[in-house]
Structure 1
Amino acid sequence: MGSPTRSVQFHRDDLEPGLSPAKTAIRDPTGALEKRFSAEPESVPIAPALSRRTSRLATTRTFRTVDAVHLRPSWHAGQEPGLDPSKPNGGRAQTPILHEECQITVVDYSEEDIRVRDFDNAGLIDFLEEPQEDWIKCRWINVNGLSWDVVQALGNHKNLHKLAIEDLVNTNNRTKADWYTEHMYIVMTLQKLVHLHDEEESCSDSDEDTRDPKAGRRGGSLRFLRRAFRGSKSERSGTVAGSHPTTNGFIKGHMEGVVSAPAQKLRTIQRYHGGPNQERMAYMERHSPLTKRKLAVSAEQVSIFLTSDNTVIAFFQNSADDLETPILRRLSTPDTILRRSCDGSMLVQALIDGIVDLAIPVATAYQDIIGELEINVLTEPTITHTSNLYILTSEMTKIRGFVSPVINLINALRDHKHPTGNSQGSYRGDMKKDSSVTISPMAQTYLGDVEDHIILITDSLDNMRRSCDNMIDLIFNTISAYQNESMKQLTVVTIIFLPLSFMTGYFGMNITDFPSIHHKESYFWIVAAPVGFAVILFLMRDMLKWWLTRFIQKRGISKHRKGRLLRDKNL
């Protein structure tokens, strides 16, 4: 008896977006599915199971599905992982709008010569079609910006893995290193201290005064009340502490320590992976102690590729110039290790080292702010200090969360000395070759120095976080001690006047036959003084006993100390 057969129907909406039915690999020994897919889309019947599933979902309204499209565009559960650069839109129905004019620098160098060229998007695509010259030992492609045409061109030129391209486009990844057949992929988070650009002064207040001819006679009190109830200018315009406008989560600032640096479009540490709650991020930015100093910490994702042909491709979102300038200066000097080695792994080490070094001024700025807050807490602690300390702790926790995984990244790079035995293969069916990318022994040695810098930064952040926690405890303990001292003083006053209040009430009773009220005023104090003294001694017996014991102990210790000093002097 033969096994029963079951007809399977596929609806065309179930297919991967961007893939035609003819390109979908499905096992079909009988050829029935091929005939069905070769028909016109309108003639493909709808599967009954999908029809029932749709009608069943329409009857269930208890729990609604969370819409995550605004968080991750062109994403849905169960889709094909990765973005294929050889297909339009990466093999998806549509890709996120990723197009901007990138600043691209291509550096070709050897021990004898170096050549630096700048391109735009179209110029780079044309340049990649040219063959690489024989004298070039190492090539560095530095991309400042994120645009799909550039990513697609480089992906096809260097056969980049589609999983790495997806991680490159979706800027919400952890720090890691992935090894593929023909290249290595590194993701890091760049953090740096920036100076905020002041917003142009608006003349809205002056316009109000000109529109109201009686404003000058009414004085400044009404204007002050209007501004107080309307809120500050920064809250009305959506800026952070009135220092920088926030547009789509970005701010404008320039690199710390570079006065003439141009303004860049940056994302603060609060808005980088900060979640969907915009009000919370704006509040944390507005009340951050860094913002009061016209400073901010920006964060962005950096992607680095190291290919088997000794080519390094670095993708920055906005801060490529911060690392490109010092590394180009090193490459322009013939006697530097980076130039003489002509090693792509050494160039990767230089990029990682530069990213880590940019976090050092961030830790220094927090040390300065915490030192100032510590002085204020020790001299005049208030509850408002706890809010500043909480914001600082939150920011330092985020910074440490981005810096500390670099230690695991460096360990993974240092341990990768030979081609890996775990073949991942490429997405085009090549499962025979292992990863041909290696880290040179020289790069492994210098990566140890980078690890030392990271450990110093993480230890500094941990110490500052503990200091903030201790200061918060000190504030509440100090305030509690002040309150306890006040209550103790009130208790002492109450104990002193308690017997006097009792005696006053006793002599003030409305009694007809009361001979005691016929005495003089001194009679009241003759009776009230011993009663009050006895009540005070009884109620304060524990405090007096503790004070007397401490006095005797101090006298005894002082006496023994003087005797020991006298004996030592005589000897």
Structure 2
Amino acid sequence: MPRENSFSDSEGRSLTPDPEEEAFPVSPVASPANYTHVKVENTNQPSNLERIKTQSRRSLHSKLSKGNPASPTATAQQRPSRWAHLPPKEKFRAAVRTLMSMNRGTSMLLAGGGRVGAEPGVDPRRPAVDAAYRHIREDNCGIEIVDYSAVRSTTRTMKNAEFIDFMNTPTTDGLPPREPWVKVRWINIGGMDWEVIKAVSIRYNLHPLALEDVFHGHSQNRSKADYYTKHLFLRVLCHELVDDASQNGTTDHTQVTNTLRSASPEPMGDDIEAEESDELKDSELTQSGSPNFGSLKRRRLGGYPLLPTSRVDVKPVYRGNQTKMGTNLAKLISNESAIRAARTERKQDEAEIHALKKGSRVNVNVSPMFFFLLRDGTVISIRPTPSLAFAAPIAFRLKSRDTVLRKSADPSLLLHALLDLVVDKAVQVIDEYHVKIHKYERDILLRPKMDTVRQLHILSGDLILHKRTLDPIKTLVYGLRRYDVDRCAALVDTSDPANQGVKIVGFMSHKSKIYLADVFDHMEYILTSLDMFAGIAENLINYTFNVASYEMNEVMRRLTIATIIFLPLTVLTGYFGMNFESMWSVQKNSDFFFWKIAIPIMILVIPIALMGDLKKLWHYMQKKTATRKAVKDL
């Protein structure tokens, strides 16, 4: 569960306790998951609960100021009673909410604002989890419910509120309403909305660890299959080609989320940070280093509200020789600001790299997709994007009676169809890379350029990243085919006598395992193609540099030959160009004497200097003659 540090209820009331509220005796009774606030029916005067709400939002600095009746120096008789006119039920609820707020805030401050080591799992039935995740909103989720059997098929498209009401419809078996003829129900959800996922997870009793994988982790975590008692959970990375116009809003290899498993279970995304203030103003801290709560705005640190819970949290902290270090709250804010700055810097670097690579790569959207396969024939698929276009081919196949998917009415075969769709999308990506590789190979063989080498370098890096994200899908498919029954058997507690002789049944049917073999073959083709393309790209890069090096060697060779040829002439020219008064070689001879000396020297020096090249030329002529003779003898 997340760190319990929410300080406001669903209606925005402040849950930060006042000094007199801390001394109020409260029974340790947990509040229900979806508690409601009962309004005080008093039309003559304002509600005391509203006065508590207003006064609790006042500056704590003003409460501690001199002359304030609520200050620590005031006696209990001087303090006005705020709960005197509240009904007993409302007093109890307000006290419970206050106690919950104190416990959550204290746990956050004691942990220094960190979430490392939190309890794993996301249980939507807990009020603290609901308060921490309710900011995850998607008003226009795409929700489609397909009920089908071998003879009939119905499709319903719902909005968020309609789907939540459908999930909350009471039935005898505890599941949503379902016609008797329905063999398989497919709930396809597009978009991440907490209320929608909460409703379906409570209704179908989805495991908290599976929900944690839905809301947490990097966007490109490994694809995997988790077996639970009630359902099978799959997390699969989908690779889909996108055009340049829609690439700005997609997730590629350079973009990762900010939620880590070590910080579990921090709510996904930073959308809430865009709606609230990113940084505290310097003016919100007084010169003494303590926060000025009169101007301190409510803000979230990774999705959690931040307010002090007692006077201890705003006392200065000293170290060493009474060196003032600020308050616990100021230190917490400072640490979180440093984390935000590092996160912003990392995003800037990723944006710069993405801009440099733009136009030289295959635009691929890599996004996770989640599948739940239940024993009652229900398949739930969740995708972060609110569009249902990705799974539209499967919905179209379910409307036709002559398809294997409809005739079999097998939920595991529906799961196979979704996995096959993911793999087919990946095959399209591989085909696009094949086209790119052929284009670059033609350019390199025609005329090597450094710009082509740059594009090959970017493509080679993307291929390595795709290999990392696609390889686990092959392992996942193999595990579903080979170890499905074994993993289901591991869920049965054999030490319990009631489980003795229980027949182990896997989630995947025999027919679906046969069809998964084709998916496995496609994944084998994808991975071998990635290795081949990466090898070709590396060879083309090496070929380009080898050609450049060879051309440089040829240039140097020509310069060397020219230098050897003209070296004797240069030496003799320097000799005959000397200005001596008595020089018989110049004064008593013509220029013919110069050539009589230069030509023999050149004839002697050039063969000696080019002896190695002359030998290579002789061997080449011998081989050429031998090959021509062999051809004539045929």
Secondary structure, in 3 states, of the residue corresponding to 1:322?
coil
Q: Which of the residues 127, 135, 143 maps onto 2:181?
A: 135
- In structure 2, the partner of 1:475 is 544
2:133 alignment partner, SS class: coil
2:462 is equivalent to residue 423 of structure 1? no
2:197 aligned with 1:151: yes
Match of 2:508 among 439, 463, 467: 439
Residue equivalent to 1:512: 581
Distance apart, 1:371 and its partner CA = 0.8
Match of 2:234 among 181, 186, 193: 186
Question: Map of 1:129-528 to 2, 5 A cutoff?
Answer: 129-130=168-169, 131-172=177-218, 173-197=221-245, 251=247, 265-272=249-256, 277-288=346-357, 291=359, 296-318=363-385, 321-415=388-482, 416-417=484-485, 420-423=488-491, 438-518=507-587, 519-528=589-598
Contact 1:192 1:298 survives alignment (8 Å): yes
Q: Which residue of 1 aligns with 2:329?
A: none
Match of 2:77?
none
- Residue pair 1:180, 1:424 contacting (<8 A) in 2 also: no
How far the C-alpha of 1:300 sits from its partner, in A, is: 0.5
Check the 8 A contact 1:345/1:439 in 2, yes or no. yes
- SS of residue paired to 2:132: coil
**Given residue 222 of structure 2, which amino acid in structure 1 is its aligned partner?**
R
2:456 aligned counterpart, secondary structure: helix
| Equivalence for 1:233 | none
Asked whether the 8 Å contact 1:180–1:435 carries over to 2, the reply is: no
SS of the equivalent of 1:78 reads coil
Structure 2 CA distance, aligned partners of 1:165 and 1:472?
Answer: 45
Taking the aligned partners of 1:97 and 1:391, their CA distance within structure 2 comes to 38
Percent identical across equivalent pairs?
31
Q: Is the 8 A contact 2:373 2:507 kept in 1?
A: no
Shift of 1:15: 7.6
1:104 counterpart (116, 136, 143):
143
2: CA distance between counterparts of 1:412 and 1:41?
44
Instruction: Tell me the amino acid that sits aligned with residue 99 of structure 1.
Output: R
Q: CA deviation at 1:503?
A: 0.5
Q: Secondary structure at 1:187's aligned position in 2?
A: strand
CA distance in 2, matches of 1:409, 1:23: 44
* Native 8 Å contact 2:360 2:458 kept in 1: no
Structure 1 CA distance, aligned partners of 2:507 and 2:232? 9
For residues 113-132 of structure 1, what are the structure 2 equivalents within 5 Å? 113-130=152-169, 131-132=177-178
Query: What secondary structure sits across from 1:191 in the alignment?
Result: strand
Displacement of 1:481: 0.6
Contact map agreement 1:419 1:438 (CA 8 A) in 2? no
Q: Any unmatched runs of 5+ in structure 1?
A: 1-13, 25-36, 58-73, 198-243, 245-250, 253-264, 566-571
Q: Aligned partners of 1:431, 1:196: CA distance in 2, in Å?
A: 56
SS in 1 for 2:594: helix
Give the deviation of 1:158 after TM superposition.
0.7
- RMSD over equivalenced CA pairs, Å: 3.6
Instruction: Identify the range of structure 1 (124-133 vs 93-102) with the bigger mean alpha-carbon deviation.
Output: 93-102
Does the residue aligned with 1:195 lie in a helix, a strand or coil? coil
Q: Which amino acid aligns with 2:364?
A: V
Corresponding residue of 1:551: 621
Match of 1:224 in 2: none
Q: Does the CA-based 8 Å contact 2:565-2:606 persist in structure 1?
A: yes
Is the CA contact 2:3–2:115 (under 8 Å) kept in the aligned structure 1?
no
Q: TM-score, normalised by structure 2?
A: 0.64
> CA 1:15–1:465 in 2, change beyond 3 Å: closer, same or farther?
closer
Offset, 1:22: 5.3
**Alpha carbons of structure 1 residues 185 and 551: separation in structure 2 relative to 1, 3 Å:** same
The verdict on how the C-alpha distance between 1:160 and 1:375 changes in structure 2, with shifts beyond 3 A counting, is same
Residue correspondence of structure 1 range 16-27 to structure 2 within 5 A: none
Distance 1:437 1:83, change over 3 A: farther
Offset at residue 367 of structure 1 (A): 1.1
What secondary structure, in the 3-state scheme, does the structure 1 residue paired with 2:187 have?
strand
State how far apart, in whole Å, the 1-side matches of 2:209 and 2:535 are. Answer: 39
Deviations 1:297-356 (A, max 9, x none): 111100000111111110012275334321122111112111122211111101000011
| Structure 1 Cα separation of the partners of residues 114 and 506 of structure 2 | 31
User: Is 2:122 the counterpart of 1:83?
Assistant: yes
Write the distance in 2 (CA, Å) between the matches of 1:40 and 1:121: 33
SS in 1 for 2:388: helix
Residues 138 and 344, structure 1, Cα contact 8 Å, conserved in 2:
yes
**Could you tell me how far 1:280 is from its partner in structure 2?**
4.9
Distance in 2 separating the partners of 1:546 and 1:99: 76
Contact map agreement 1:422 1:434 (CA 8 A) in 2: no
- Amino acid in the other structure paired with 1:366: Y
CA distance in 2, matches of 1:22, 1:401: 50
Question: Displaced runs of 4+ in structure 1, greater than 6 A?
Answer: 18-21, 39-44, 273-276, 430-436
Quote the offset at 1:273 in angstroms. Answer: 6.4
SS of 2:240 mapped into structure 1: strand
| Amino acid in structure 1 at the alignment position of 2:251 | R
User: Contact between 2:4 and 2:128, CA under 8 Å: does it hold in 1?
Assistant: no
Work out the CA distance in 2 between the residues paired with 1:343 and 1:89: 38
- Equivalenced residues, count: 446
